[in-house]
Amino acid sequence: MGERRFEGKSVLVTGAGTGFGAVLALHAAGEGARVVVHYRSSADGAEATAAGVRERGGEALVVQGDITSWDDVKRMAAEVFGELGSLDALVNNVGDMASLQTSWRELTEESIDHVLAVDIKGTMLMTHEFGLRMLEQKRGAIVNIGSTVVVRGSPRAPQYAAGKYGVLGITKSYARALAPTVRVNTFAPGFMRTEAVLNRPDWKAGRGEELTAATPAGRIPPPEELAAAALFLASDDAHHITGSYLVCDGGYSMLGA
C-alpha cells in the first residue's frame, strides 16, 4: 500500500459486511483508518470485514442497524460518536439496485417502496444525523455511492435510477447545508465484477460482453480497483470538492460536458 491518507482518522462504511462496502472498509484500513463496519443483516460478513481491518493494523468497531429507520440511525450515530469521540468520513455505500429484476416490465410496488426507502430515505437519514454531528466537530466528509444510471437511466429498473437521482439531490442539498466545514459528494461507479453482477442471468447471456465492448477502457474491473478513487472524495486531497459527483466507469457514460 502506497499512500496512507487516513492515518489517525476514522471512517464509517455502511453495508460493509458484503460487496463493495467490505472492499471500501478494508482499503480504508490499509490506508491507516479506524473503521466503523456497519451492517444490517450480514453479521458474519461484518465480523469477517472487522477481522480483515484488524489484520491490516486498523481498529474496527461493528455497528448494526437499518438505515431506513430514523431511530436506528440516531442510535448508531450516538454509538459511533460515543465510542470514537469523532468521525472523519462517512461512506454511504448501502443501496438496493433491484438486482433480481431484468426488465422494467417486472416492476412491483414492493420493489419501488424498498429501493426508494433504502437509496433515498436511508442515505438522507445517515447524511442528516452524521452530518449534524460532523458540523458540531467542524470537520468531516460524506461520500454517497451513486451510479452511472444518473447519466443513462435504467430501462432495467427505473426505480433504481430514481433512487440514485435522489442521492444527487441529497448530496447537493447537504453540501450547501453543511458547508464550509463538511463536504458531501457522490461517487458514481459503473459496472464492477462482483459476484452478484457476474451471476445475473442477463450478464451470463451476453450482457457482460456487450458492456465490455461499450466501455472505452476495455474491461469491467473488480471492486478492489475502484476503492481508492471512491475514498479520494473522503480524503483531504479532495478538500475543495463538494456537492459534486465523480463518475468512475471506464468512459462508458461519456456524455455531455
Task: Say if residue 194's pLDDT is above 90.
Answer: no
Asked if 118 and 160 touch (Cβ cutoff 8 Å), the reply is no
Asked if 29 and 58 touch (Cβ cutoff 8 Å), the reply is yes
Task: Say if residue 1's pLDDT is above 50.
Answer: no
pLDDT value of position 27: 98
Domains and CATH numbers, the chain: 10-189+226-248 (3.40.50.720)
**Which DSSP string corresponds to 119-157?**
IIIIHHHHHHHHHHHHHHHT-EEEEEE--THHHH--SS-
C-alpha cell at 22: 467490505
pTM: 0.96
Q: For residue 252, which amino acid is it?
A: Y
Tell me how far apart the terminal alpha carbons of the chain are, to the nearest angstrom: 34
Of 96, 95, 149, nearest to 126 by C-alpha is 95
144 or 150, higher pLDDT:
144
Q: For residue 180, which amino acid is it?
A: P
Quick one: pLDDT band at residue 16, thresholds 50, 70, 90? Answer: very high
Integer Cα distance of 166 and 150 in angstroms: 9
Q: Please, where are the H alpha helices in 97-237?
A: 109-116, 123-137, 149-152, 158-177, 195-198, 201-202, 208-214, 227-232
Three-state DSSP class for 186? Answer: strand
What does the pLDDT look like over 60-99, one tens digit per residue?
A: 999 999 999 999 999 999 999 999 999 999 999 999 999 8
Active-site positions read 160
Calculate Rg over the CA atoms of the chain: 17
Mean pLDDT in residue range 168-193? 97
Q: 199-234: b or e for each residue (b if 16 or more CB lie within 10 Å)?
A: ebeebeeebbeebeeebeeeebbebeebbbebbbbb
Average pLDDT, the chain: 95
